[in-house]
Structure 1
Amino acid sequence: MAKVILTVNGRTMSGECEERTLLVHFIRENLGLTGTHVGCDTSQCGTCVVHMDGKSVKSCSILAVQASGSSITTIEGISANGELHPVQAAFKENHGLQCGFCTPGMVMTAVDMISRHGANLDEKTVRAELEGNICRCTGYHNIVKAILAASAEMSAARQAAE
């Protein structure tokens, strides 16, 4: 057994697991944060996306022991004060979710995408960067629309704050 210590959603958390335990399983089973979904365990579907040290990663492709010492943000940690994150709100307003299974990974990918591209985000870039996230309900049109809406709103809010 290996000890894993992480900062998850701003809190230091730890646990023990087998050395072969994937980060996604550690997050769900050891830490009880089930918003991060397990889809394929092969890095193909994107349902397990979390932010590790500020960047999107597929948590099924990283061992928990490899992530030890890192800062992890899960879908549970992106909103503040009980309010939806602007990306979550945009998904709701633009019907960017159907069954909801892929939604946590899509949202986490979108938050990272918007933080990297800001106001320069366009449909072509969104579609290209979503290639690693699969929506089995084929809701891509509204997902792209939601990400672009969130990007515009967040950029406008940043400009107003400056």
Structure 2
Amino acid sequence: MQFTINGQRREADVDVRTTLLDLLREHLALTGSKKGCDHGQCGACTVLVNGRRINSCLTLAVMHQDDEITTIEGLGSPERLHSLQAAFVAHDGYQCGYCTPGQICSAVGMLGEVAAGWGSHVSADLSSPGLNTDEIAERMSGNLCRCAAYPNIRAAIAEVGADHASAAATSARREGVSA
């Protein structure tokens, strides 16, 4: 099977019953995604597939041939952290750190959903969903933190979400000015 993982073309010869999580961890040595519950209930295994967040323990690797898969290892590096990684550090959005890779990958996907205008269960206005504390909590509810660092996780996501919103507004103004 062939995959594009973190921007690199990878091949693996695995049983067709191998989950995407097991492919990543056991066959490709990408151990950032964690096996928490192995039932899709905790979100520790969250990765991005074609920009959308999924629980990698619930899907077979064979289903994702030729997809763009991004794990926590593909988001940033110690020298150049992704904005959410930096925000998690700044806001102490982790304690034991076990759930952190899944939390960050899920937050990246969630911010993409907000940017695309997708509403959530708590969206007051489906025509322009916002990113307040309730929205973040609802949208991240599939990712559990046993240490209960939720206030810090939400603060980190809110900071990056505000930066994204500000950048989008600036871009819209520029397009309006040049039109």
Q: Following the alignment from structure 1 to structure 2, what is the Cα–Cα distance between the partners of residues 82 and 160?
A: 28
Q: Which residue of 2 aligns with 1:127?
A: 137
**Higher Rg of the two aligned structures:** 2
Please name the residue that 1:112 is paired with. 109
Q: In the alignment, does 2:28 pair up with 1:31? A: yes
Aligned residues with identical type, % of pairs? 39
Runs of 4 or more above 3 Å deviation: 157-162
Q: CA deviation at 1:158?
A: 4.3
RMSD between aligned alpha carbons? Answer: 1.7
Q: CA deviation at 1:79?
A: 1.9
Matched, 1:55 2:52: yes
Equivalent position amino acid for 1:156 in 2: S
Distance 2:79 2:45 in 1: 22
Segments of 5+ residues of structure 2 without an aligned counterpart are: 116-128, 175-179
Q: Which amino acid aligns with 1:121?
A: L
Greater strand share, structure number: 1
User: Equivalents in 2 of 1:156, 1:148: separation in Å?
Assistant: 12
More displaced, 112-121 or 10-19? 112-121
1:108-129 deviation per Cα after TM superposition (whole angstroms, max 9, x unaligned): 1111111221493111111011
Question: 1:147 corresponds to which residue?
Answer: 157
**Which amino acid in structure 2 is aligned with residue 135 of structure 1?**
C
TM-score by length of 1: 0.91
Task: Name stretches of at least 5 consecutive residues in structure 1 with no aligned partner.
Answer: none
Structure 1 residues 133 and 61: alpha-carbon distance in aligned structure 2, compared to 1, 3 A threshold: same
Instruction: Work out the CA distance in 1 between the residues paired with 2:135 and 2:145.
Output: 17
Which residue of 16, 19, 23 corresponds with 1:19?
A: 16
TM-score of the two chains, using structure 2 as the length reference: 0.83
Q: Is the 8 A contact 1:6 1:13 kept in 2?
A: yes
Paired residues in the alignment total 159
- Look up the equivalent residue of 1:146 and give its one-letter code: A
